[in-house]
Amino acid sequence: MPVEPIPFQRRKNDAPSSVEEVHIVWLTAGLSCDGDSVSVTAAEQPSIEDVILGAIPGLPKVYLHNPVLAYENGDDFMKFFYQAERGEIDPFVLVVEGSIPNEQIKDEGYWAAQGTDPNTGQPITTCEWIDRLAPKALAVIGAGTCATYGGIHAMAGNPTGCMGLADYLGWNWRSKAVLISPSRIVGRGAPLRAPEPVPPAIAAAAFLPVVCERIDASMPQSVAMR
């Protein structure tokens, strides 16, 4: 009688990655409804619980810092973004959710921000967070239509001048390991293509294992073993 396969949720990590842990710094301060963060909670293959609790073979320990799903709030939550900026969290993956506004086309104020700069007392704009974190992230993910292509906010006539993440960073921009959208993963080596269209409820959670796989493959051994 054939042996039944072990359910996915109960498999043990028999071949741990040389990258012991990775932080997911998830910025929802783009123009959006946080729907992608909410839809990730419905993912099943894998589920966000499987990713966080280490049920996926070969996946490093994952720490998720998402304002919609986090237990922490206020300064206790924001500290992870500052730590990533200072290089105290390494490696980390930056996930951006929501359209990226153009902060250069307004006379005053700001379109979108998260947190307050302790030195100036002014809000830290979404664009500034991307500028601070993207160069230091091993991978950058645009989660959802808004972050990838600009979404509804990028329609003609919108005063925010919204755009997708690749439009903001530049289509030839590359992170340390990969640059990812829900339909295409581009990085060192051959591109990986995901099924199109990617169901929104599984897109981000499903790509986390792929991201960590690519991080493991891309990092120098001396870094990976830190």
CATH of the domain at 127: 3.40.50.700
Does any domain span residue 223? no
Pairing of strands 192-193, 184-187: antiparallel
Does any domain span residue 7? no
14 compared with 157, residue with greater pLDDT: 157
Confidence of residue 207 (pLDDT cuts 50, 70, 90): low
Torsion 144-148-149-150 (CA) sign: positive
Does any domain span residue 150? yes
Lowest model confidence (mean pLDDT) among 38-52, 78-92, 125-139, 172-186: 172-186
Does any domain span residue 176? yes
Backbone angles phi, psi at 95, to 5 degrees: -110, 130
| Structure confidence at residue 186 (pLDDT) | 39
DSSP one-letter string for 12-76: --SS--SS-EEEEEEE--SBS-SHHHHHHTT--TT-HHHHHHT-STTPPEEEEE-TTT-S--THH
Does any domain span residue 118? yes
Domain extent, residue 161, equals: 24-218
Cα–Cα distance measured from residue 130 to residue 47, given in angstroms and rounded to the nearest whole number:
27
State the pTM of this model: 0.76
Does any domain span residue 4? no
For residue 187, what are the β-bridge partners?
A: 178
Does any domain span residue 35? yes
CA distances in angstroms from 59 to 53, 79, 125, listed in the order given: 10, 25, 32
* Structural domains in the chain (count): 1
Does any domain span residue 19? no
pLDDT in tens, 143-199: 888 888 888 888 888 899 899 888 898 888 877 775 444 444 433 333 333 333 344
